[in-house]
Structure 1
Amino acid sequence: MEVMNVIKKIGEYWDERSLVFDKEHDTEDLNAWGATLERLLGEDKNKSVLDLGTGTGFLANMTSKLGYSTIGIDISKEMMKLGVKHAKTVGSDTVFMEGNVLALPFMDNTIDFIINSRLIWTLVEPDVAIKEWLRILKPGGKIMCFNRMQEGIGLNIGKINIYEDEEVDKQLAIKGARMEELRDLLERNGLVDVQIQKLPDVTRHGYDYDPWFVLMGTKDEEENQLIS
């Protein structure tokens, strides 16, 4: 199946499930998330944040409310409609754009922070994606991938279909990858100071709640050209 057809089907999947997905965030501790994001992004609010696979704007609307200039990109129009609605409710200035994380409409070296939540396992071409993100990231800028996973069970997750269409699911190259494999993905594509941090402050407690963590990497300060 061609990559663009896979991406189209993924967009349709999330269009159909936007309302259900949106409710998943109802029990998140927004105050804890806000404090965590501000700690990771830093005190300088004159920074740009790009939330990839923004969905209903869970992260994007929080970073905008914190004062960072924020853009949210997604392939699902229905998800972003909810994001716009939430932005109006909370007073966020997030700019929502339809787009593909494999080909972003930004100049080289223009974004300070690229963030995403539960996106990395669903990438069709992960190496292409990371190189593209690195292209638009400013030297010294950071990529932050938020995810939920019990330590050591990545391979078990890999046996579960994320999408109902098996042909689509087969195209997810790193579905269920372990933490060390995700670290390698960033390092082999040119990011430095790659680290994984557990996020206990935003992790809900209960038998069915997997802990949150963030996978982070930095673009080399001296990197002013595309990684080939």
Structure 2
Amino acid sequence: MTHHTRDGDQAKDLVQQHWNGRASMFDSESQHGIHSEEQHDRWLTVLRESVGTDPCQVLDVGCGTGVVSLLLGELGHDVVGVDFAPAMLDRARTKAHRGDHSIGFHRGDAETLAVPDDAVELVTARHLIWTLPNPHDALHEWKRVVEPGGRILLIEGYWDHSEPWDEYEEVHDDLPMYDGRPPAELAEVLRQRGFTDVTHESLVDATLWGREPRHDYYLMTGTVPRDGTH
């Protein structure tokens, strides 16, 4: 792991640069933002069915402009969002303030969270794991901060782009899960990291993405064992 340290830091800087640059237009893209009542309601349904109706403490990692954080807040959950890109967090805070949501958004590193052990009941992340230099370390962190019996919920995909773009041209070789992974492959990674009851379901409903999906999107959940081992 030591030999990744410098490359990992450089990769994170470029990834941050990329998402800072995209922050102002991020929500305007149909697959990223919420653009209709139908799309909004469909995402609420997906999250309600996956998370349940009992309010819980949620850490939304790589929250971006707060799309998932705000939806979970609307469902009555106690949500904190963290992201590495300050410009994304600025957008999230503006949206939360405009919608009168009391969600805290903080700068943080998904691979080294400044959060105590067993602090939350659920960790969520949308389209994040492919951007990380050390995704296995991140999964260990997410497992650490979730209480025994709690879960992680990942909204992921397999993009398989023909070529990397922008800052990713420089760093994609340093990102082990660049372009995402097929669901069966990521599910096995979660099991190897100690998660149980790993399940996934397809998210190819065009309503969710504002258009016919061009890639394989899915939702995956895993449970932290109650024996408390991290």
Q: Are residues 1:12 and 2:22 paired?
A: no
Instruction: Give the 3 Å change call, closer, same or farther, for CA 73–206 of structure 1 in structure 2.
Output: closer
C-alpha deviation, 1:127, in angstroms: 0.8
TM-score, normalisation: structure 2: 0.87
Distance 2:156 2:63 in 1: 13
Q: Where in structure 1 are there 5+ consecutive unaligned residues? A: none
Instruction: State, as a whole percentage, how many aligned pairs show the same letter.
Output: 25
Q: Where in structure 2 are there 5+ consecutive unaligned residues? A: 1-5
SS at match of 1:131: helix
What whole-Å deviation, never above 9, does each CA across 1:144-198 have from its counterpart, x for those lacking one?
110244xxxx5x33x4315534231111101232222111111110001111112
C-alpha deviation, 1:103, in angstroms: 0.4
The correspondence for 1:168, drawn from 171, 186, 198, is 171
SS at match of 2:123: strand
Distance 2:74 2:212 in 1: 32
Task: Report the residue type matching 1:171 in the other structure.
Answer: D
Task: Report the residue type matching 1:42 in the other structure.
Answer: G
Residue matched to 2:86: 77
Alignment coverage as a number of residue pairs: 218
Q: Are residues 1:199 and 2:203 paired?
A: yes
Residue matched to 2:117: 108
- Contact kept? 1:48, 1:111, Cα under 8 Å: yes
Residue matched to 1:139: 148
Task: Report the residue type matching 1:18 in the other structure.
Answer: A
Residue matched to 1:183: 187
The correspondence for 1:62, drawn from 46, 67, 71, is 71
TM-score, normalisation: structure 1: 0.88
RMSD over aligned CA atoms reads 2.0
Instruction: Give the 3 Å change call, closer, same or farther, for CA 6–44 of structure 1 in structure 2.
Output: same
What whole-Å deviation, never above 9, does each CA across 1:116-160 have from its counterpart, x for those lacking one?
1111222211111101111111111111110244xxxx5x33x43
Instruction: Give the 3 Å change call, closer, same or farther, for CA 210–135 of structure 1 in structure 2.
Output: same
Greater alpha carbon shift after TM alignment, 2-11 vs 206-215:
206-215
What whole-Å deviation, never above 9, does each CA across 1:208-228 have from its counterpart, x for those lacking one?
544541011111122x232xx
- Contact kept? 1:203, 1:209, Cα under 8 Å: no
SS at match of 1:203: helix
Structure 1 consecutive aligned stretches of length 4 or more whose deviation exceeds 4 Å: 204-209
